[in-house]
Amino acid sequence: ALLITQNRLVGASDGLYRFWLTREAPDYYPLTSSLMWLEWRLWGANPMGYHVVNVVLHAVNAVLVWIILRRLKIPAAWLTGLVFAIHPVNVATAAWISEQKNTLSMLFYAAAILLYLRFDEEDKRGWYGLSLVAFVLALLSKSAVVMLPVVLLGCAWWSCGRMRRKDFLRAAPFFALSLAFGLVTIWFQYNRALGGGTVRTDSFLSRLVAAGWVPWFYLSKALLPLNLTVVYPRWNVDVSHWLAYLPGVILVGCFMVVWWKRNTWGRPFLFGLGYFAVMLFPVLGFFDQAFYAFSLVADHWQYYSIVGVIALAVAVGERICRSMGERGRYVGVSVGAVVLMVLGAATWKRGCVYADSQTLWRDNVAKNPDAWVAHNYLGCALSRAGGIHEAIVHYEQALRIKPDYVDAHNNLGNALMEVGRIQDAMGHYEQALRIDPDYATTHYNLGVALAQAGELQGAIAHFEQALRIEPDYAEAHNNLGSALSIAGRVQEAINHYEQALRLKPDSPEVHCNLAMALEQAGNVKEARAQYEEALRIKPDSVEAQHGLAQ
């Protein structure tokens, strides 16, 4: 997961401080980030540990769903929990390490609801306080749970048939927390994830119309989970055509009908579908987020809300079977077993797609050939596996679909460098920098290309620019040191090598480079110490052995 392996804060010794008390991270999810920081020290780059933690969290969440629904007296709550546990849509959360923020926040979110329900029954303030604490922890894991106060009011209505004044007063602190964390998330999304830009430039009317489509998409995937993928085709909403308004109008009409019948058959539909819609509100498209550049929907975004649809479907099935008398019991058991087996098989099949990056992104480009980001990530996976020529094809395809895609220009430049086409690579790096002049990685890559082409001063300029944008860029410090050393600016080179070691103290390459610079400066004793440190870290380093022998 790039969120872990290429996240400098996860690898940094002071990462915990920076997650909690700085604005460096793209999102303010410090509890999730702290868990990943800890896991990195336990498992490193081995994905097994992360997967085990994520699956265990998902399993615990399924148990909590069962307990909550049983306390709310929802029929067949155990079956709802089981379906939630094995539903194919949830593979996007349970099998994808990056979505640990979903499973962790769901854990505390469900705990907050359970503790609040216990407080509501026993009227003991301690449970209320613990519920607030659990909600804060959920928000610190992922702020998508901001709609919990509305859910609590919905639970009060379901239990009592109405919402009392004391329910609103009790929910007030939860609303205050939601508002505070919601504003923090919006700030981080706009200033960090989006870099002060915007993803969606369409009008509010267009967003409103698209918001009417979103629940139907998720409802269809919850009830019939076919053709699941990571990046779905991005919708083009034509607000000038009356058909674009139809899904939203039908949605509002459905809620009006169940509200009208809320005291009879409409009550469970209002509760189940109301919960489903409420928990989808943060991802209806009214608030900008980076993923909207690729698609307006994603499977992992309905991890919280899908419970409402599953519980409603199971409860309706249970009611139908009960109305059939003794025969209905056997019908219910048979249908339930078939549904679980079908869902289990579909989940297993979908889970296999997440076996590795190549399989995942090949599946995505097959189902959505216009997903430029999928072509880019498939190119990255192929490049890592040595399929550099096929990787180039996919980078070029990404750029045909989206010519201003900075990452694809940068990655294509890297691939072209690998096959020796340095001038072509530099052209793509320069194109990327014309689109985004503050892309530190591309400045670094262009510096490497210029150094290889013998244009030392240009290389130094781009390494320095990369460091102006990102001062803690260890690789840029190291390569700038090498360029300065070749240019005869040895003391400056030493300073940058030392900066690189401050950031990556276990890099044998940097220790060797620093040793050579120190030797060039006449400090042989310290150079020897650096070679010895490089060999302590990597005993089979030929470069360090040769340097130490000299």
| Whether pLDDT at 391 is above 80 | yes
Cα–Cα dist 146/189, whole Å:
15
What's the whole-model pTM score? 0.90
Which residues lie closer than 8 Å to 456 by C-beta, 6 or more apart?
450, 483, 486, 487
Residue 6: pLDDT band with limits 50, 70, 90: confident
- In sign, the C-alpha dihedral spanning 413, 414, 415, 421 is positive
Cα–Cα dist 506/398, whole Å:
36
| Whether pLDDT at 2 is above 70 | no
SS3 522: coil
- The total number of residues shown for the chain amounts to 550
Nearest 5°: phi and psi at 164?
Answer: -90, 165
CA 103 vs CA 157, 173, 290: distances in Å = 27, 24, 20
Is residue 313 a contact partner of residue 223, using CB atoms and an 8 Å limit?
yes
Nearest 5°: phi and psi at 202?
Answer: -75, 165
pLDDT of 506-526, one tens digit each? 899 999 999 999 998 888 999
- In sign, the C-alpha dihedral spanning 471, 536, 37, 2 is positive
pLDDT of 20-31, one tens digit each? 999 888 889 999
The pLDDT value given to residue 484? 94
* Closest alpha carbon to 283 in 368, 214, 335: 214
SS3 296: coil
Q: What is the mean pLDDT of the segment spanning 373-381? A: 96
Tokens of 102: 């979903």
Cα–Cα dist 462/443, whole Å:
5
Is residue 411 a contact partner of residue 379, using CB atoms and an 8 Å limit?
yes
SS3 237: coil
Cα–Cα dist 412/3, whole Å:
21
Residue 198: pLDDT band with limits 50, 70, 90: confident
Instruction: Name the burial class of residue 125, with classes exposed (0-12), middle (13-18) and buried (19+) by CB atoms within 10 angstroms of its CB.
Output: exposed
Nearest 5°: phi and psi at 5?
Answer: -70, -30
- Give the 3-state DSSP-derived string for 489-521, with helices as H, strands as E and coil as C: CHHHHHHHHHHHHHHCCCCHHHHHHHHHHHHHC
From the CB of residue 44, how many other CB atoms can be counted at a distance below 10 Å?
12
Cα–Cα dist 102/458, whole Å:
44
Tokens of 80: 């709802």
Residue 71: pLDDT band with limits 50, 70, 90: very high
The pLDDT value given to residue 21? 92
CA 462 vs CA 34, 212, 246: distances in Å = 33, 47, 53
| Whether pLDDT at 252 is above 70 | yes
| Whether pLDDT at 1 is above 60 | no
Residue 550: pLDDT band with limits 50, 70, 90: confident
Is residue 448 a contact partner of residue 463, using CB atoms and an 8 Å limit?
no
The pLDDT value given to residue 161? 86
pLDDT over 70, % of the chain: 99
The pLDDT value given to residue 232? 97
Tokens of 408: 């694809």
Which residues lie closer than 8 Å to 352 by C-beta, 6 or more apart?
359
Which residues lie closer than 8 Å to 513 by C-beta, 6 or more apart?
478, 481, 482, 485, 497
* Closest alpha carbon to 384 in 74, 45, 155, 93: 45
pLDDT of 136-154, one tens digit each? 999 999 999 999 999 999 9
Averaged pLDDT of the chain: 94
pLDDT of 113-122, one tens digit each? 999 999 999 9
**Cα-to-chain-centroid distance, residue 472:** 23
Q: Which stretch, 32-46, 187-201, 297-311, has highest mean pLDDT?
A: 297-311
Is residue 50 a contact partner of residue 4, using CB atoms and an 8 Å limit?
yes
Q: What is the mean pLDDT of the segment spanning 443-449? A: 96
**Locus of tokens 């009790």:** 170
Q: What is the mean pLDDT of the segment spanning 381-397? A: 96
* Closest alpha carbon to 33 in 49, 47, 12, 51: 12
SS3 50: helix
Lowest mean pLDDT among 46-55, 83-92, 193-202: 193-202
Is residue 135 a contact partner of residue 109, using CB atoms and an 8 Å limit?
yes
* Closest alpha carbon to 407 in 383, 372, 454, 458: 372
The pLDDT value given to residue 196? 65
